[in-house]
Amino acid sequence: MISADDLIELVRNYNPKTNVQRLRDAYAYGASMHEGQFRHSGEPYFSHPVSVAAILTEQRLDDATIITALLHDTIEDTKASYGEVAQKFGDEVAGLVDGVTKLTNLQLSSVETKQAENFRKLFMAMSKDLRVILVKLADRLHNMRTIKSMRPDKQVQKARETMDIYAPLAGRMGMQWMREELEDLSFRVLNPEGRQSIIRRFITLQRESGDVIPRITRDMRKELEKAGIEAEVFGRAKKPYSIWRKMQEKKQGFSRLSDIYGFRIITLDEEDSYRALGAIHQRWRAVPGRFKDYISQPKSNGYRSIHTTVSGRDGKRVEVQIRTRQMHDVAETGVAAHWSYRDGVRSENPFAVDPARWISSLTEQFDAEENHEDFLEAVKLEMYSDQVFCFTPKGDVIKLPRGATPIDYAYAIHTRIGSACVGAKVDGIRVPLWTRLKNGQSVEIITAEGQVPQVSWLEIATTGKARTAIRRALREVDRDRFVKLGKELARAAFEHVGRKATDKVLETASKHLRIDGRRELLARLGSAELTSHDVVQAVYPDLIRSEDDQISPRRAVVGLEPGQSFERATCCQPLPGERIVGITFRGRGVVVHAIYCDRLSEYENQPERWVDLQWQGGTHPAVYGATIDLTIGNDAGVLGRICTLIGEKKANISNLVFVDRKPDFYRLMIDVELRDAEQLHSLMLTLEADSDVAAVERYREKAQVPARAG
Q: Residue 122: which of 160, 90, 161 has the closest Cα?
A: 161
List Cα–Cα distances, 664 to 9, 111, 359, 622, 630, in angstroms. 79, 40, 52, 33, 14
Which three-class secondary structure state does DSSP give residue 413?
A: helix
Give the separation between CA 121 and CA 106, rounded to whole angstroms.
Answer: 8
Report CA Rg, the chain: 29
3-class secondary structure, 132:
helix
Q: 30 has which bridge partners?
A: none
| 443 three-state secondary structure | strand
Catalytic residues: 76-77
- Give the burial class of 113: count Cβ atoms within 10 A of its Cβ; 0-12 exposed, 13-18 middle, 19 or more buried: middle
Closest CA to 168 of 183, 157, 155: 183
* Angstrom distance (rounded) from CA 584 to CA 647: 36
H or E stretch at 689: helix 677-689
Torsion of CA 690, 692, 695, 700, to 10 degrees: -80
The angle that helices 372-384 and 112-128 make with each other, rounded to 10 degrees, is 60
Name the β-bridge partners of 610: 583
DSSP 579-597: -EEEEEETTTEEEEEETT-
Question: Do 400 and 390 meet the contact criterion of CB atoms below 8 Å apart?
Answer: yes
**Single-letter residue type at 380:** K
The alpha carbon dihedral of 10, 13, 18, 21 has a sign of positive
Give the integer Cα–Cα distance in Å for 357 and 341.
Answer: 20
Contact 633, 664 (CB under 8 A): yes
Who's near 288: CB < 8 A, 6+ residues apart? none
**Would you say 642 and 687 are in contact if contact means Cβ atoms under 8 Å apart?**
yes
C-alpha span between 703 and 335 (Å, rounded): 46
* Residue 232, beta-bridge partner list: 266
> How wide is the angle at C-alpha 679 spanned by C-alphas 676 and 685, nearest 5°?
140
User: Which residue intervals of 284-365 are DSSP H helices?
Assistant: 325-333, 355-364
Ramachandran angles phi, psi of 579, nearest 5°: -70, 135
Are the CB atoms for 233 and 217 separated by under 8 Å?
yes
Contact, 254 vs 265, CB < 8 A?
no
CB 436 within 8 A of CB 403: yes
Report which DSSP code applies to 442.
B
State the chain's maximal CA–CA distance in angstroms. 86
Question: 103 near 95, Cβ under 8 Å?
Answer: no
DSSP β-bridge partners for residue 320: 263, 308
Find out whether 230 and 268 touch, Cβ atoms under 8 Å: yes
